Amino acid sequence: MTRTGKTAVRSVAIAEAKSRFSSLIDEVRTSRKPIEIRRRDQPAAYLVEANTFERLQRIEDSVRAEQLRRALKGPKYDLRDFLASIDLGL
């Protein structure tokens, strides 16, 4: 077991993950707890329930959208002036 943040996560080596992949998927689906997959004693990947992954994707999309909104509130530049200023030689 390893700890990610405050949660203890079960850890398996890649070789074990390869040989038990189907049963590990079943375990993640029933326990709703991720499994860490390690290569050379370092985290290589995490096996997570599909709903968890989708939720994390939505959170990441929301964060990126907010970053874009903030960036668009900054100063505006005319595209022609900008392209002229960097002289691409087109």
**pLDDT tens for residues 8-20?**
789 999 999 999 9
Cβ neighbours of residue 51 under 8 Å, at least 6 residues apart?
none
Q: In total, how many domains does the chain have?
A: 1
Inside any domain, residue 13:
yes
CATH number of the domain that 55 lies in? 3.40.1620.10
Residue 40 belongs to a domain: yes
Q: Is residue 54 part of a domain?
A: yes
Question: What is the rounded average pLDDT of the residues 61-77?
Answer: 85
Q: What is the pLDDT of residues 23-54, one digit of tens each?
A: 999 999 999 999 999 999 999 999 999 999 99
Determine, yes or no, domain membership for 65: yes
pLDDT reading at 2 higher than 80: no
Q: Is the pLDDT of residue 5 over 70?
A: no
What's the pTM value of the predicted model, to 2 decimals? 0.67
